[in-house]
Structure 1
Amino acid sequence: MTKKKQVLVELGKEELLEKMWAADPVIKQMLINSENLEKARDHFFIYLNELERSYFDIYTDKPYLGMHPVEKNIAKECIRVLKNVIRTENEVLTKGSALKHLYKIANKRKGAFNAVEPGFLSEFLYLFRGIHGDLKLPEKVDLLEASGRKAGEERSRQLDKYSGFLMKHYNRMKSGLDQSSIRYQQKMKHKILDYFQATEEDWKDYQWHLKHVIKDLKTLQSLVTLDSEEIEGLKLAIQFDIPFHITPYYLSLFSQSGRSRHDKGIRAMVMPSVTYCHNVNENRLKKTDMDFMGEKSTSPIDAVTRRYPQIVILKPFDTCPQICVYCQRNWEIKNINEATVTRSKINKAIKWIKNDPYVTEVLITGGDPLTLKNETILEIVKAVAAIDHVERIRIGTRTLITLPFRWDQELIDTLAKFNEYGRREVCIITHFEYAMEITPDILEVIGRIRKAGMSIYNQEVFTYYNSKKFETAFLRRMMKLSGVDPYYTFNTKGKAETIDFRVPMARIQQERKEEARLQSGIVRTDEPVFNVPKLGKTHLRAWQDHEPVMIKQSGERIYRFYPWESRIAIVDDYLYTDIPIYDYLKRLHEDGEDIRKYRSIWYYF
């Protein structure tokens, strides 16, 4: 019987080290032969420069002459990253030195090997392979060898293969529109109604849902099975006074019998984990500021945030019917029964917008503004629409998903009357995270909003729970078919307390290149972005906007970000410490995922 080949995360640390040095024995010998760290650095740069030059030299006698341009291109990128990592400038900037660790390990200094984690060794294993173009890509596609009809037929067969690969993954996934999902949601709905002694009429009344938002463990346990880890997390949330809200509607998407493959992410989004609760509590005890985006420093007046030239955020309300655990504003979100609307504060904020002619767009969000009554929303939107220089009003809300019955016809008509073609746009911004969230109820609401002339845009937060292969592609497909336009895909904020949700930046780049790219351009309209604190979104597809500058002992990459305005003004850079790719792959492996499907992740920088 053939022994199954071990995957990366199953290898011992010593074996990883052996593979790392085997990937480039010259580097190991060079480090050993160097009398000190600075000599090692000099030799390393000379070696990389010669290697790089051989890739550009068409007359080279090195074995890289026959290397494929794709392999050469990635090899050049790996060389660039390695040069960044061994620069003294970046060591000073990041207060660390990966080269020092490599030097000590090569020279078998005491404690050197124990000082680094498998993630560190893995990064250099793939970089050392990468600088030689040893990428282990699955196949070579020759597009230029044939011509004419034959070439067209061959290319069509290759494209069928790509499309079939995509559809094969689609077929393994479920949306809330599948008949089995609809039946199950109906079953859960009736259980919830029975528990609250409510009627079908109550179910369609959003006020009933608001009155019965689930925010205690006893009610939740009476309706769905929770495992010990979920129970412990909820107990800690109550103990540490960390608010959690789940609408009865959203609870109907839960698997009644316990956490499953299809509702794992849905549960994680609304039930604080043990790690999250301990981290939030520790931050509070240490008085650590959890305002990751620096909104206090980008607020020119209460209830307003401004990070861009033409758009501002207006926050009239500081809670939501349902609280997302990964929320960037978790530091200011309150329990639903504690939240208030301060009219004078809102009026002053709107007056401030009116007095600034350079603001042309207002995002009304919070919290979730649609927790408020129609009259209050009308009052706010009407006041903003009365400002001559405002040409777009966005309503940022997740009620479309968590409380679809909130979208009564009165609300839709109220918003639509301010949507004037050629004069002003009113649009909806929401957060679909999983295809299971797209249900018949939500489809009906989307239809009415679209018929009223308003567009709906989605800003997906790319988390661990929707980062598996083709999950985001499937969500994209279902959203577009349902009338929602993908707009942004956000790299999860680097908040320490939300570590459960974080994904290496390389994964969102990989998704864009290897999964989204197989979809039609009209479907993959979202742009992957990173939100730089205080400064705003930076696109992740451009080297000019960010670069890896260091690899920490645990395998975390440190990136240097150059803000969106860095080509029009001298703006401070920002350092971001990512989570280790190795740790992410290990977690996927433990969850039963085949991590060989992610093998190219190491080469996204």
Structure 2
Amino acid sequence: MMVNRCPDTSVLTPEEKRRIALERARELKSRIADYLTVRDAIPTGFAWAEKIGYYKARIIELLEASASDWEDWRWQMRNRISDAAFLAKLVDLPETLLEEINEVAKHYRWAISPYYAAVVAAAGPGSPVWRQAVPSLEELQDSGGSLDPMAEELTSPAPGITRRYPDRLIINVTNVCAMYCRHCQRRRNIGEVDRHQPRRVLEAALDYIRSNPEIRDVLVTGGDALLLPDHQLDWLLGELHRIPHVEIKRLGTRTPVTLPQRITEELCAVLTKYPPIYLNTQFNHPLEVTPEAAQACDRLVRAGVVLGNQAVLLRHVNNDPFVMRRLNQELLKIRVRPYYLFQAKEVRGTRHFITAVEEGLEIMEQLRGYTSGLAVPTYIINAPGGLGKTPVTPGYILDRKPGRIVLRTWENRVVAYPAEVAAEETTCPKDAGRAKQARKPPVL
């Protein structure tokens, strides 16, 4: 194994150091030349704002609405599109595709906010945003998978609660979404009727949290957490805020992506009352990063909300290293930190979205070192049966020996690195694990 070693710079002249630095700069520039040649060909919501605006005007006309209606999130919800014939008024659709959409609709609910429908129409049939929003016959052709691959029904110790980790849990507050994504992991909960959790269920969930002081982190999700009315969010977040051992509140929502109109000044006034609040959303393609989405995120940031993105790796949507790189760079521009990249789950009716794990690893290889570390999420596989998130990374440690490890860098260079070996690491792994668990806190 050839191991690279750093040269002794003390013996180099200033001119030699500069020459080496310039050669290195040219080498680094060449490493992203392939991305730079295609970057501008990857569509973004900002680049396509005018085209999306055309379809916005067309939808407003078809729905006999006004510009002020468009900015009203309640109007957007009342006018969600779930009619294939309406889509056909926006884009040319063959009769066979209309029939397929209607056939899938008999089995799986669909709905798209007018806002997101404008993005979908601008991109057209078969595009990455179309595939996320519009039913496909592939949903009926998927023969495998499970309705509940995460075994959420077996990890619910109290009404409305999902608990898979020692110090945190989920409150599921609604089945309502602005758009019913075709890759949804909880499509079993959607049904045909929009329902928020009854107050008695939320109160039972709060009682469970109060009686378990190890819970320091609560995720409010659904459905979409932000589709609760402002007054109900105010009450729920206030109750959580008053529990001494709950240190942070998290919100799971796709509204910045599918319904940015929901991020009103009134909502932000509620959120700013209960810090710290962390909000994780789900941008999956650069086309979704529009000026409207950026404005929504700006309002949230100004309200003191910390924003993260949990993308899902989806076949024919974003399973491309350059698309994912562009997405994460666009997100940082609107102050959304790429947090997780999820391997798609084995949900019945969605398995056509699943990619090979090797594709996810290749994407991670093409992010680390090639762009800012801020733009590199953690690649996650949810262990089946509700056993939790498992990080999956390319292999960067090639060899481990007492006193040193051998690393592979992002450029595939092999380097040795000194590593101190703690005494407990020289014992049997099982014994070391027991010792770690038994370790007592220091006496102050």
**Given the two structures, how large is their TM-score scaled by the length of structure 2?**
0.83
The residue aligned with 2:100 is 233
Letter in 1 for 2:160: A
The residue aligned with 2:91 is 224
8 Å Cα contact 1:230/1:271 also seen in 2: no
The residue aligned with 2:238 is 382
3-state DSSP class of the match of 1:209? helix
The residue aligned with 1:417 is 273
- Residues 1:333 and 2:190 aligned together: yes
Q: 1:416 to 1:193 in 2, by over 3 A?
A: same
Match of 1:161 among 30, 34, 50: 30
Match of 2:78 among 191, 200, 211: 211
Letter in 2 for 1:487: Y
Aligned pairs (5 A) from 1:175-254: 175-178=44-47, 181-227=48-94, 230-240=97-107, 242-254=108-120
What's the offset of the Cα at 1:340? Answer: 3.8
8 Å Cα contact 1:233/1:271 also seen in 2: no
Aligned pairs (5 A) from 1:285-304: 289-304=146-161
The residue aligned with 1:311 is 168
The residue aligned with 2:214 is 358
- Residues 1:537 and 2:393 aligned together: no
What's the offset of the Cα at 1:275? Answer: 1.8
8 Å Cα contact 1:291/1:329 also seen in 2: yes
What's the offset of the Cα at 1:171? Answer: 2.1
1-side partners of 2:123 and 2:320: how far apart?
23
2-side partners of 1:143 and 1:504: how far apart?
37
- Residues 1:473 and 2:330 aligned together: no
8 Å Cα contact 2:123/2:130 also seen in 1: no
8 Å Cα contact 1:401/1:437 also seen in 2: yes
Query: Could you say what the CA RMSD is over the residues aligned between the two structures, in angstroms?
Result: 2.4
Runs of 4+, deviation exceeding 6 Å:
141-147
Match of 2:133 among 266, 270, 280: 270
- Residues 1:431 and 2:261 aligned together: no
What's the offset of the Cα at 1:368? Answer: 0.7
**Superimposed CA distance per residue, residues 310-350 of structure 1 (whole angstroms, 9 cap, x where no aligned partner):** 11010011231211111111122233x44243111111011
1-side partners of 2:212 and 2:274: how far apart?
21
**Superimposed CA distance per residue, residues 513-559 of structure 1 (whole angstroms, 9 cap, x where no aligned partner):** 123430012322x1111110211111101679xxxxxxxxxxxxxxx
2-side partners of 1:494 and 1:143: how far apart?
46
Letter in 2 for 1:500: H
What's the offset of the Cα at 1:414? Answer: 0.2
Letter in 2 for 1:504: A
The residue aligned with 1:521 is 373
2-side partners of 1:515 and 1:413: how far apart?
36
8 Å Cα contact 1:227/1:259 also seen in 2: no
What's the offset of the Cα at 1:289? Answer: 4.7
2-side partners of 1:243 and 1:168: how far apart?
40
3-state DSSP class of the match of 1:428? strand
Greater fraction helix = 1
Letter in 2 for 1:401: V
1-side partners of 2:122 and 2:36: how far apart?
29
Aligned pairs (5 A) from 1:558-573: none
1-side partners of 2:250 and 2:216: how far apart?
11
1-side partners of 2:195 and 2:368: how far apart?
39
What's the offset of the Cα at 1:222? Answer: 2.2
2-side partners of 1:322 and 1:492: how far apart?
18
2-side partners of 1:233 and 1:202: how far apart?
31
Match of 2:362 among 510, 513, 522: 510
Q: 1:351 to 1:230 in 2, by over 3 A?
A: farther
The residue aligned with 1:174 is 43
Alignment identity in percent?
27
Letter in 2 for 1:247: S
The residue aligned with 1:396 is 252
The residue aligned with 1:579 is none
2-side partners of 1:230 and 1:413: how far apart?
44
The residue aligned with 2:300 is 449
1-side partners of 2:197 and 2:212: how far apart?
24
**Superimposed CA distance per residue, residues 166-222 of structure 1 (whole angstroms, 9 cap, x where no aligned partner):** 3223222121111xx111111101100000100001001011001001112222222
1-side partners of 2:98 and 2:319: how far apart?
25
2-side partners of 1:195 and 1:220: how far apart?
11
**Superimposed CA distance per residue, residues 458-488 of structure 1 (whole angstroms, 9 cap, x where no aligned partner):** 0010111101231000000000011101101
- Residues 1:367 and 2:223 aligned together: yes
Q: 1:154 to 1:289 in 2, by over 3 A?
A: closer
The residue aligned with 2:441 is none
Higher gyration radius (CA): 1
3-state DSSP class of the match of 1:453? coil
Aligned pairs (5 A) from 1:77-92: none
What's the offset of the Cα at 1:144? Answer: 6.7
Please, which runs of 5 or more residues in structure 1 have no aligned partner?
Answer: 1-67, 71-140, 420-424, 545-566, 570-605
3-state DSSP class of the match of 2:32? helix
The residue aligned with 2:424 is none
Count residues with an aligned counterpart.
391
2-side partners of 1:356 and 1:485: how far apart?
31
